[in-house]
Amino acid sequence: MSEIIEAEKSQTAVLAQGPAADSPMAMAIAAMQSGMSPEQIGQMMDLQDRYNATQAKKAYDAAFAAFKSEAVRVIRNKDVTDGPLRGKSYAELHDWVNAVTPALSKHGLSSSWKLTKDEKDWLEVTCYLRHVGGHEESVSMGGPPDTGGAKNAIQARASAKSYLERYTLKAITGLSEQNDDTDGNAAKDTALRDGWISKVAQAETTEALEKIWQEGGNEIYATNNLVDYDAFKKAVTDKKKMLKETK
């Protein structure tokens, strides 16, 4: 019986303490006590949310700039021994992860992926880059299952997923491999796409984003590489939505 009484006292004490002074609930209660209307409180909370989002974006930008100063090197160490790409080399997904993770973590950044579209003939992967302050950026890229070679259906999908994870991580970090690979696209075209997507991720206003879309879209479209163009367009669309949400 004494244990039950003590537990009830403990719960009562916690409730008596109320919400933390800097919590939204505490601020709302204080505002109501000062005579503010629910509508005014809502406007105040919305303004606070936008301020917090702006501060988080600034923290992300500072961390990303510091990450870029690390001069991360990704080495191509996987050789292609057969097929039409025989003699070529590239960095595998784990090479990318091992290369960028220490520098990202050092500055409070982390990367992750999500399979955002999983259809029979099309896969889409989204790579997220998050900062401990709460802001995140994302880049998406899609493609069909990789049916080349003697792959079964599962292997074809796994291969395509790994490829998309590698290239979305490459795009969102704005990095290139040493002696960049040319499987599927010319190295020049790949660097072009990655450079413009990196600029999209760093755009701070819709006006700046619109300029990047016009200039980058025209330049990438001129290469006749629709895969790169679609990836760039998706990055712009996602960024535009994010900028609207933080206004």
List, as one string, the DSSP characters of 148-193.
-TT--HHHHHHHHHHHHHHHHHHHHHT--BTT---SSS-HHHHHHH
What would the two tokens of residue 218 be? 């025209």
Residue 184's identity, in one-letter code, is G
Burial environment of residue 82 by CB neighbours within 10 A (0 to 12, 13 to 18, 19 or more): exposed
For residue 144, what are the contacts with CB-CB under 8 A and spacing of at least 6?
A: 121, 122, 123, 160
**For residue range 64-97, what is the model confidence (pLDDT) as tens digits?**
999 988 878 888 776 666 655 555 667 789 999 9
**For residue range 108-144, what is the model confidence (pLDDT) as tens digits?**
999 999 999 999 999 999 999 999 999 999 999 999 9
Q: How confident is the model over 158-163, as a mean pLDDT?
A: 92
Name the least confident of 6-15, 62-71, 155-164, 213-222.
6-15
Q: Please list the residues that pair with 78 across neighbouring strands.
A: 90
Burial environment of residue 201 by CB neighbours within 10 A (0 to 12, 13 to 18, 19 or more): buried
**For residue range 176-209, what is the model confidence (pLDDT) as tens digits?**
776 644 444 444 446 777 888 888 888 888 899 9
What single-letter DSSP state applies at residue 205? S
pTM of the complete model: 0.60
